[in-house]
Copies of this chain bind each other. A is one copy, B any other.
Amino acid sequence: MGVSNMKIAAVQMQPRFAQPEKNRILIRRYCERAAKQDVDLLVYPELCVSGYNFVSKDQVFNLAESIPDGPTTTSLINLADQYQLTVVIGIAEREGLNKVFNSSAIVNPRGFVGKYRKIHLFAREKEWFQAGNNPPKVWSLGKAIIGVLVCFDWAFPEATRILMLEGCEILCLPANLVLPYAQLAMISRSIENRLFTILANRIGTERTLTFTGRSQITDTHGKILARSGKDRTGLIVAEIDPRQARNKMLTPTNNIITDRRVDLYHRLLQP
């Protein structure tokens, strides 16, 4: 492996609804398996501790935990240290006495790195969660700069664009997809932003919802480096050089950042 290379991976799993203890055991096992393959960056699906298809806001609140003080993040901080991994994982995040966010926590061997609260809520998530009120941001992790979105954020090209402008080299997308669009959209996000993407989706059915798997990893030209099927669990892994995402020259005279016509984009900020 080249000195700048790293191994990135997605976990495609089937969480058990409302069984956080069992799901944390599953989560730990994927950490172990990833470590055996020398993975540096491991992305889990959205809400993979609680499950997804809640019956009420009370139920979400009871299944939610704080970040970084809750049991999942605390335990992952230890695992990240033990296995020398960076982990991105979707967690229902409780704040105070009545707020719950659809969040992702990021931890690495040095401890808690940060969290992202989903800003575009899907379907009934609008009943269950508060939307995040901070723009997507990036974290510099030594070998790479990563950005995190959650699931339905895929549908808003603005979100990935903001991450790219902030220097994101690897977009991590914990997801619980039920629609068939995100895989293709992530290829487009790679092409138009020249970055790697890791889409970690779940499988299984919770009452009326069936989750669609097909987790994938793309390179900076939209090539699929690894992908999973629609109904299997397991890791997908790819070895990449994240520095490729720093090259924003599409031709010798076309830089995808400086070619943007910011002077003509003001309509994007009008309601």
> Which residues does A use to contact B, with CB under 8 Å?
119-124, 126, 131, 133-135, 152, 155-158, 161-162, 165-166, 179, 181, 184-185, 187-189, 191-192, 221-222, 250-254, 256, 259-271
Contacts of A126 in B (CB 8 A): 253
Contact B267 A268 (CB under 8 A): no
Chain B min CB distance to A149 (Å): 12
Q: Which of B131, B192, B251 contacts A123 (CB 8 A)?
A: B251
With contacts A185-B188, A253-B126, A261-B120 taken as known, whether A268 is within 8 angstroms of B165 at the C-beta atoms is yes
Chain B min CB distance to A148 (Å): 14
- Complex copy number for this chain: 2
Chain B min CB distance to A133 (Å): 7
Cα–Cα distance between A179 and B265 once the two chains are bound (Å): 25
Cα–Cα distance between A166 and B254 once the two chains are bound (Å): 27
| 16 A–B contacts from the bound complex (CB under 8 Å) | A119-B261, A119-B264, A121-B259, A126-B253, A155-B250, A156-B259, A156-B261, A157-B157, A158-B161, A158-B261, A162-B268, A181-B222, A184-B187, A188-B189, A265-B269, A269-B269
Q: Which of B121, B166, B266 contacts A267 (CB 8 A)?
A: B166
